[in-house]
Amino acid sequence: MSDRTSPPTRHISARPVVAVRGESLEVRPDRIIGEAPLEMRAFGPGQDPVAVAVTMRTPGHEDELAVGFLRTEGLIDGPEVVAVRSGDPATLSQPDDTVIVQLSRPFDDSAVAERHFVATASCGICGKASIDELAIRCDPLPDGPVVARSVILALPDLLRVAQRAFDETGGLHAAALFTPSGELIAIREDVGRHNALDKLVGSQLLAGALPLHERLVMVSGRVSFEIVQKAAVAGASILCAVSAPSDLAVETADRLGVTLVGFLRGDGFNVYSHDRRIDLRDLIGWD
């Protein structure tokens, strides 16, 4: 597993820039977020590692990203992860651009061939299976917690304060995990929204903390089908976002039982599905 006490390799770099501000010009160093391809592989007993997907990501937390991706895409259950390692430094110039997940059971590579995974930092997985297929392999969500409106409204500021790399570069998405009372449990950042969420889910899988039934997930950008899928597979019943959801995201959240909150900013938000988990009694006159 990666060392959580040291900063991620190639996470942020410094480059000179020409900064124009009004009538002034200045050449100064600027901190820029890293982006590099990551090949994810998996294997079980008696197998050679199988290439599963390649994604553009922000370097760092590669083990979490790989196991989070495998879990949220339904390729593993989680407990069968034995070890995660980087590529061979003797043959690769950047060993951490390859991550290999070892399993205690054989890895079914037929699922990879059938689904033709292609991942990018911006859009997630292309050639996605239908909502019907997702509903089959996604465990039903329990009722989950009921969260106060004040907690929901506080999440964007709590997320923003915790975004250390964003403060340095301004170029990252974030996914964070909170308790129903608003306590931050974990946060992960990446150039890709889906990568940030996979890293977050992977961190909890490796910590033995899945499913996330009693937790809230907060993401910094918009909500796509992939984001709802990954949150639901991880067991999170409440998903909040600063920006808008797509229509497919709303349909998926409704089908899978996810409470989806969007446009969460300032003193307002929209609840698109399963609003029973947000305590709004003070607004509708109920005791």
Q: How far apart, in Å, do the first and last CA atoms of the chain sit?
A: 49
DSSP one-letter code for 275: G
Identify whether the C-beta of residue 224 lies closer than 8 Å to the C-beta of residue 251.
no
> Tokens 């465990």 — which residue?
139
Question: 103, 76, 74: which is closest to 232 by C-alpha?
Answer: 74
* Catalytic status, residue 123: yes
Distance CA 238, CA 102 (A): 31
CA 200 vs CA 71, 153, 212: distances in Å:
12, 21, 11
Q: Can you read off the two tokens belonging to residue 107?
A: 């890895």
Residue 13's DSSP bridge partners are 32
Identify whether the C-beta of residue 204 lies closer than 8 Å to the C-beta of residue 224.
no
Catalytic (active-site) positions: 123
